[in-house]
């Protein structure tokens, strides 16, 4: 068969998203619903530079060791363009890993499953490529931050 292409990833930029304290929203039989406010941050990389604007947030549902994430926020690019971000994904960490994080130990992307699929919207011509491509995020927590390396799926 011809015409098949193996996917590859190309690094586009890193989001360093500043977050506030988690807020408890509710609890179901086997899940917890929470909200984490986004208070700012930076965007740096070969394809996009700017800042994460305060005011967004991540609504999440935790079931056992798995949290399903649904974040929404805005980026202001270096040129002033505004980019809307909807970033959905999964965070999976064992109790032992959670204890290490709580103790302030650094944890690498390879030690937990913290992946997302950000979708971008903008009418800025210079950044239209963001709204026309699929992206994958590889995340890691740092104190007060969620760091997400964003890759374009090629």
Tokens linked to 96: 């032992």
CB 76 within 8 A of CB 49: no
Q: Three-state SS for 127? A: helix
pLDDT at 10 > cutoff 90: yes
Query: What CATH code is assigned to 9-153?
Result: 2.40.160.20
This prediction has a pTM of 0.91
Residue 111's pLDDT is what?
A: 87
CB 137 within 8 A of CB 153: no
Gap between the Cα atoms of 36 and 146, Å rounded = 11
Residue 1's pLDDT is what?
A: 63
pLDDT at 2 > cutoff 80: no
Q: Which residues does 4 contact at the CB level (< 8 Å), separation at least 6?
A: none
Chain segment 69-123, per-residue pLDDT in tens: 999 999 999 999 999 999 999 999 888 888 888 888 888 888 889 999 999 999 9
Gap between the Cα atoms of 91 and 116, Å rounded = 9
Residue 102's pLDDT is what?
A: 83
Domain regions of the chain by residue span: 9-153
């Amino acid at each position: 068969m011809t015409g098949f292409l193996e996917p590859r990833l190309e690094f586009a930029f890193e989001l360093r998203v500043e977050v506030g304290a988690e807020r408890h929203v509710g609890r179901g039989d086997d899940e917890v619903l929470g909200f984490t406010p986004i208070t700012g941050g930076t965007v740096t990389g070969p394809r996009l530079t700017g800042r994460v604007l305060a005011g967004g947030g991540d609504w999440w549902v935790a079931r056992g060791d798995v949290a399903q994430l649904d974040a929404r926020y805005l980026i202001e690019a270096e040129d002033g363009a505004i980019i809307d971000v909807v970033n959905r994904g999964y965070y999976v960490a064992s109790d032992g890993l959670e204890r290490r994080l709580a103790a302030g130990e650094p944890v690498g992307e390879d030690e937990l499953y913290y992946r997302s699929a950000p979708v971008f919207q903008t009418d800025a011509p210079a950044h239209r490529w963001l709204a026309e491509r699929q992206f994958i995020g590889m995340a890691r927590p740092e104190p007060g931050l969620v760091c997400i390396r964003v890759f374009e799926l090629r």
